[in-house]
Amino acid sequence: MSNDVTVTISMSVKPDKLETLLSITPDLLKETLGRPGVISVRALRNPDEPLKLMFLDAFASVEASNAYFEWRRDRGDLGRLVSMLSEPPRIEVWPVSIDAV
């Protein structure tokens, strides 16, 4: 079992904010990847439900994940993101991985 943690962020975007969010996503991913304790980042879009996005972020630890989200909150990034969504994002932390033997 490893100590890293995966965080999933599922969101439904307001139709009039989709293009804006899609246009800033590459920079958000690069910025996230540059933060301490971030292992990987990925954004996914569901073609059958184009207003739904998911971010998959891997962190070195739960503490690194918490520090990252605190940094985003303190900068006001989370508030700006939530204003583009039609409902609150669903954020789940997955600290236990089941590794192959």
Give the pLDDT confidence of 91-101 residue by residue, as tens digits: 999 988 777 77
Question: Which tokens go with 58?
Answer: 């891997």
Taking Cα atoms as reference points, which of 76, 7, 72 lies closest to residue 39? 7
Q: From the centroid of its chain, how far is CA 37? A: 14
Look up the pTM and report it.
0.87
What residues form DSSP beta bridges with 11?
Answer: 53
Residue-level pLDDT at 2: 64
Q: In this structure, which amino acid lies at residue 98?
A: I
Give the pLDDT confidence of 42-79 residue by residue, as tens digits: 999 989 999 999 999 999 999 999 999 999 999 999 99
Taking Cα atoms as reference points, which of 94, 98, 100 lies closest to residue 54? 94
Query: Domain 5-94 falls in which CATH fold?
Result: Alpha-Beta Plaits (3.30.70)
Domain ranges of the chain: 5-94
| Maximum separation of any 2 CA atoms in the chain, in Å | 47
Contact 71, 57 (CB under 8 A): no
Label residue 37 by pLDDT band (50, 70, 90). very high
